Amino acid sequence: MKLIVTFSRKTGKKPIIAQVVRDTGVLINVERAQIDSSEGEALIDIPDGSCNVVKQRLSELGASVRVLEDVISLDESRCVDCGACISICPQEVFSFDEDWKLVVNGDRCVLCGRCIEICPQRALSQKGEA
């Protein structure tokens, strides 16, 4: 399960993800992180059964948490199965089926945005932002 964690750094520079790992014992895979002097945002992957305990501890530490599910949306009416997204995606989210139709496995997505930028048909979007 993937979560987007947003946290302020104004109250200090505590390593919030490391603290949650220590406090909960849950192994957290950080797939993407963007941190500046005032704020941080991280995309983390955790075991599904650990979601509640991790969310609770993150909230206690002042972070806001959003669950990501199947985040990349494909508009099949626009897609021409060119395969450009297959080439650019670092997570192997896209593949062709036996009929050379595009297949999307959104669970792997880390929201880097590359496929959205490269698609010549504008067939891909982040869910909720189409």
* Residues lying near ligand SF4 in the complex (CB under 6 A): 72, 74, 79-85, 88-91, 93, 102, 109-115, 119, 121, 123-124
Tell me how far, at minimum, the Cβ of 118 lies from ligand SF4, in Å: 6
> CB under 8 Å to 71, separation ≥6 — which residues?
2, 106, 109, 111, 126, 127
Tell me how far, at minimum, the Cβ of 17 lies from ligand SF4, in Å: 20
- In the bound state with ligand SF4, the residue whose beta carbon lies nearer, of 28 and 119, is 119
Tell me how far, at minimum, the Cβ of 46 lies from ligand SF4, in Å: 18
| Residue recorded with tokens 């496995």 | 105
Tell me how far, at minimum, the Cβ of 111 lies from ligand SF4, in Å: 5
- In the bound state with ligand SF4, the residue whose beta carbon lies nearer, of 20 and 74, is 74
> CB under 8 Å to 76, separation ≥6 — which residues?
123
Contact 66, 3 (CB under 8 A): yes
- In the bound state with ligand SF4, the residue whose beta carbon lies nearer, of 65 and 88, is 88
- In the bound state with ligand SF4, the residue whose beta carbon lies nearer, of 62 and 83, is 83
Render the burial of 57-89: b for 16+ CB within 10 Å, e for the rest.
Answer: bbeebebebeebeebbbbeeeebebeebbbeeb
